[in-house]
Structure 1
Amino acid sequence: MKRTLLPFLLIFTFINVFSQAPANYYNGTAGLSGAALKTKLSQIITAGHIDNGYNGLWTAYSTTDRDKTYENDNTILDIYSENPNGQDPYTFNFGTNQCGNYSNEGDCYNREHIVPQSLFNDATPMKSDVHFVRATDGKVNNYRDSYPFGLVANASYTSQNGSKLGTSASLGYTGTVFEPINEFKGDIARMIFYFVTRYESKLSTFTSGDMLGGSAFPGLQTWELNQLLAWHNQDPVSQAEVLRNNASYTFQGNRNPFIDNPSFVDLIWGSQTVDTEAPTAATNLIANNPTSNSIALSWTAATDNIAVTSYEIYANGILKATVSGTSTTVTGLAPLTQYTFYVIAKDAAGNSSPQSNNAVETTLDGPVGGSCGTENFSSIPTSPTTPAYDTRTWSNNNITWTATDARIDQTINGKAINIRNGNLTSSTISGGIGSLTVTTKLPFSDTAGNLILQINGNNVDTIPFNTSVTTTTISNINIPNNIVIKIVNSETGKRISIDDLSWTCYTTPLSTSETNKEKSIFTIYPNPVKNNELFVKGENLNKISKAQIYDLSGKLIETIESPFKTSNKINLKGLAKGNYILKTDNSSTKFIVE
């Protein structure tokens, strides 16, 4: 539910009125700035800090992490499931849904260290400091792992409220980052500013985690500092933060100064100009090379005052992919469907460009065949690494994959998924399947054997594996319409790596004439065609509802409704010389135009 924002003036008069900080709490900070102000604040918030222990956090959450500002239903306020503009996907009740074990998002909440505890070796009092240890969904916390916070270019995981894990779009960093929704970006920034201020004297002994600095000032790596400053400016202090700060003070005896007085941020680290300039529109968008379920796109790059970090690809108004380059292939499309594409450029601050020009292309008919999809496992999650075997879920090319009892640390040609006593399963894929190709290898000391390939739950063939890299193609699968691909390891205990999976579309066998139960037989003449007229001879021609002409690349040239209702010929005027296929309701045949 959308929160009611605090009046602007209240936000800046909260030290004595709203936040309930003691009147003299920030004595000695007047006139200070930079490192001196940071050190003075560190002294203030260190004095009075009571360490109530790690288990004490469970008690703290009874007052610090309750929803009193959104739904106001007193459930746990979880930044990874809260939907500020509508109904939450799920809620947690205090105590009842507390846990350490989970399988899925929404199972339970646990304790998340916004600054990972691995960076300070699980030491106290950091480990139990409620100001930066939040009650969050256990599964999402697990996905976030120990990654720094930043903007995501290409997401490998997205939580139910839109928090994302993926490759960085933040300037100055190219690793994996975690991005909360906009509602909580400022919250995250101010919690980290608290940490590097409260523990500035210890920073030189901590691991950086690609986020912390190695000295008291500035305390953060440059790229992370710039990103957090931007988030701090874009997402001002909320009522939820104020209430949490007050409750944390009551529980722990110290405060977060950057919630009490946001201007401390600029006084210490300097004012950062918020980037409000949007990129220009991408130009020269071209759509080509259609198959029955994919279309290739390319365009000329947009420009930005700082940098373009990603492009969002839309098909018929629906977001289909986010990429960092200036070309991509959109998959998962429906056969014989016209799509209008456009591209929107994004910069690191999240500014969006105007739409590019539109590019229109039509997918091919499913029976014509062509590549339907690929999976190279480049988007498999990089965590958790423990336990080694777990359920792994990721999305790529608009297909969601789930691997059970799987590990992620093995490679063949780049990343690979390794299955022990589980399986690899796709979401529903359009276009059917003609053949499938996959590469396998035994990375450990196991004996050779076979995986089972299932389509729509039915066994269709086996895939061999051994200690060598083995690429197998299974032909003549020929299953139309929507499919689910499943590769099953039924050989207990054997650990098989899988890579470079691809499949072709379903293809209807073509022949010069076919007969159905109504004896709809036809032949064409003359062949080669002359004078742009193709004649058809046969029975029940007037019952044929549609004729389609394809070139041999599979591109649909023309569709003719009720082609033989009044005549037995088709006018091919304008058709270039070459080889073509005429496909009707029940038959297909080749012909030549001279």
Structure 2
Amino acid sequence: MKKNYFLIVLLSSFLGIAQIPTGYYDSANGLSGWALKTQLKKIINSNNDGLSPEYFHVDKGYGTGTNTTNNGLWSAYGTTDRDMGIGYEDDNTIVDIYTENPNGPDTYNFNFNTASGGNNGQCGSYVNEGDCYNREHLIPQSYFGHNNSGPQLSKYLIMKTDIQHVYPTDGKVNGMRADFPFGKVGNTASYTSSNGSKLGNASNSGYAIGYSGTVFEPIDKFKGDIARVFLYFATRYEDDMDELYSLYTTVDARVMFDGSTNKVFSPTFINILLTWHLQDPVSLKEIKRNDAAFNYQSNRNPFIDHPEYVCQIWSTECTKLSNDNFALKEKTSIYPNPSNGNFTIDFKEYGDYSIEIFNTLGQKVFSAKENNKNNIEINNVQKGIYFVRISKNTQSIVEKIVIN
């Protein structure tokens, strides 16, 4: 028996269209692969590359920890990471990806403070979760600050203060994450935060196969956020990736990177990043943060503005992921594609399937769970490009569909 669904397209006022300056990405049009990645680096770096228009990444400082109105990152978090109009509690507190509960009340809340992460002034205690938030480098400082003197110093300082990858996070949880790479935790976690982020031995299976050491796994809602931060870092600091790799002395650092300036990441870690990017599309929170970060330091994360750039650059790796899930891909089909607004998702065997549809801004505009049905029809979809994610058990595939 077939079941019909009507796709309700969200109002444009709700979508929060990213405030991308006119012409910002024009010089990247028509490029792909490493050439696209290098051009994006020119667009978002602090060098004069002769682009028109050109915006230079500006170092606004790390923050001294004094109670001033313009105190580097501490002050910037007042616009980049507040819970305002992003679909959470809308309570004006700091959004912390390790304790934020996107679907209900938070266990802990942090009030914005221009001097530190303390709710009431200075804070130096991270004994318990909820004590204070601090500035976490999602790409740890130990990965890029080994030679923070001499010629490397200026590069290190820009990386250290780059708000695109320095997030406000709970100080206790940040300490537990330490310098461990992000990844997929196995069956047992040694530590779990209030929102379900966890630390433990890597699963070393599925899309995360290839590493069995200790990893930190965020909740699903923020996995794509973290993935796009790492892809930004690999692009923004492309020219430095080989030099930084030569300075690494720990397994934690080397498992994530491969020493190249193009691919940048090891096979295991690029699979994790791409999987998280595809499974957790760009959110309204990311869009608003990217806009605020641009207003603060004058550069943007291109993978938030244009999620499609990811697989245009790391195309081989994206294809491999598709092949890894070939069993599920072989058992499903979407037709016709392109279509005139009506299409069918066909399952070639019975089972429990989850279907989600996202627009090009990453907003989920449709979701359904199907049990023991052969197919579903989706009708009256407005013109545009959409991404359909079909999941069953631990497998997941993402297909693009064009509505003419």
TM-score category (smaller protein): 0.5 to 0.7
The structure 2 residue matched to 1:136, chosen from 148, 169, 180, is 169
Q: Which moved more, 1:23-32 or 1:104-113?
A: 23-32
Deviation at 1:212, TM superposition (A): 2.3
Deviation at 1:157, TM superposition (A): 0.5
Match of 1:42?
41
Alpha-carbon displacement from aligned partner over 1:34-83 (angstroms, at most 9, x marks no partner): 11000000010004100111111111101001112211111000000011
Q: Is the 8 A contact 1:147 1:178 kept in 2?
A: yes
Q: Distance in 1 between matches of 2:217 and 2:9?
A: 27
Deviation at 1:275, TM superposition (A): 3.9
Alpha-carbon displacement from aligned partner over 1:250-295 (angstroms, at most 9, x marks no partner): 00010000000000001000134284968xxxxxxxxxxxxxxxxx
SS of alignment partner, residue 102 of structure 1: coil
Match of 1:184?
222
Match of 2:314?
269
Q: Structure 1's 85 and 152: CA in aligned 2 closer, same or farther, altered over 3 A?
A: same
Query: Are residues 1:222 and 2:256 paired?
Result: no
TM-score normalized by the length of structure 1? 0.44
Q: Is the 8 A contact 2:134 2:168 kept in 1?
A: yes
Q: Which runs of structure 2 are paired with 1:568-583 in the superposition (5 Å)?
A: none
Query: Are residues 1:74 and 2:106 paired?
Result: no
Query: Are residues 1:152 and 2:185 paired?
Result: yes
SS of alignment partner, residue 204 of structure 1: helix
Q: Is the 8 A contact 2:89 2:104 kept in 1?
A: no
Q: Distance in 1 between matches of 2:90 and 2:131?
A: 21
Deviation at 1:351, TM superposition (A): 3.5
Q: Is the 8 A contact 2:196 2:219 kept in 1?
A: yes
Match of 1:161?
195
Match of 1:173?
211
Query: Are residues 1:90 and 2:132 paired?
Result: no
Query: Are residues 1:233 and 2:271 paired?
Result: no
Could you list the runs of 5+ residues in structure 1 that have no partner in the other structure?
A: 1-5, 279-348, 354-594
Q: Is the 8 A contact 1:100 1:110 kept in 2?
A: no
Structure with the largest fraction of helix:
2
Q: Which runs of structure 2 are paired with 1:498-577 in the superposition (5 Å)?
A: none
State the aligned residue count: 275
Match of 1:25?
24
TM-score normalized by the length of structure 2? 0.64
SS of alignment partner, residue 136 of structure 2: strand
Q: Structure 1's 143 and 350: CA in aligned 2 closer, same or farther, altered over 3 A?
A: farther
The structure 1 residue matched to 2:237, chosen from 199, 202, 215, is 199
Q: Structure 1's 152 and 93: CA in aligned 2 closer, same or farther, altered over 3 A?
A: same
Q: Structure 1's 245 and 7: CA in aligned 2 closer, same or farther, altered over 3 A?
A: farther
Q: Structure 1's 277 and 108: CA in aligned 2 closer, same or farther, altered over 3 A?
A: farther
User: Residue 204 of structure 1 aligns to which amino acid in structure 2?
Assistant: D
SS of alignment partner, residue 28 of structure 2: coil
Q: Distance in 1 between matches of 2:266 and 2:144?
A: 16
SS of alignment partner, residue 111 of structure 1: strand
Q: Distance in 1 between matches of 2:284 and 2:42?
A: 26
Deviation at 1:214, TM superposition (A): 1.1
Q: Distance in 2 between matches of 1:260 and 1:9?
A: 19
Q: Which runs of structure 2 are paired with 1:388-467 in the superposition (5 Å)?
A: none
Q: Is the 8 A contact 1:45 1:254 kept in 2?
A: yes
Match of 2:81?
65
Q: Distance in 1 between matches of 2:189 and 2:23?
A: 46
Match of 2:130?
106
User: Residue 50 of structure 1 aligns to which amino acid in structure 2?
Assistant: V
Deviation at 1:99, TM superposition (A): 3.1
Q: Distance in 1 between matches of 2:327 and 2:105?
A: 32
Q: Is the 8 A contact 1:245 1:259 kept in 2?
A: yes
Q: Distance in 2 between matches of 1:8 and 1:191?
A: 26
Q: Distance in 1 between matches of 2:141 and 2:9?
A: 36
Could you list the runs of 5+ residues in structure 2 that have no partner in the other structure?
A: 1-7, 47-55, 64-71, 149-155, 329-390, 396-404
Q: Distance in 1 between matches of 2:230 and 2:277?
A: 11
Deviation at 1:174, TM superposition (A): 1.0
User: Residue 159 of structure 1 aligns to which amino acid in structure 2?
Assistant: S
SS of alignment partner, residue 112 of structure 2: coil
Q: Answer with 1 or 2: which has the greater Rg.
A: 1
SS of alignment partner, residue 88 of structure 1: coil
Q: Distance in 2 between matches of 1:34 and 1:10?
A: 32
Q: Is the 8 A contact 2:224 2:280 kept in 1?
A: yes
Q: Structure 1's 60 and 46: CA in aligned 2 closer, same or farther, altered over 3 A?
A: same
Structure with the largest fraction of strand:
1
The structure 2 residue matched to 1:52, chosen from 54, 57, 60, is 60
Q: Distance in 1 between matches of 2:109 and 2:326?
A: 35
Q: Distance in 2 between matches of 1:158 and 1:275?
A: 29
Alpha-carbon displacement from aligned partner over 1:107-155 (angstroms, at most 9, x marks no partner): 0000001100101116210000000100000000000001111100021
Q: Structure 1's 9 and 73: CA in aligned 2 closer, same or farther, altered over 3 A?
A: closer
Q: Distance in 2 between matches of 1:209 and 1:155?
A: 23
Q: Is the 8 A contact 2:123 2:132 kept in 1?
A: yes
SS of alignment partner, residue 225 of structure 2: helix
User: Residue 243 of structure 2 aligns to which amino acid in structure 1?
Assistant: T
Q: Structure 1's 148 and 23: CA in aligned 2 closer, same or farther, altered over 3 A?
A: same
Alpha-carbon displacement from aligned partner over 1:364-417 (angstroms, at most 9, x marks no partner): xxxxxxxxxxxxxxxxxxxxxxxxxxxxxxxxxxxxxxxxxxxxxxxxxxxxxx
Q: Structure 1's 117 and 84: CA in aligned 2 closer, same or farther, altered over 3 A?
A: same
Q: Distance in 2 between matches of 1:235 and 1:250?
A: 25
User: Residue 54 of structure 1 aligns to which amino acid in structure 2?
Assistant: Y
SS of alignment partner, residue 178 of structure 1: strand
Q: Structure 1's 194 and 157: CA in aligned 2 closer, same or farther, altered over 3 A?
A: same
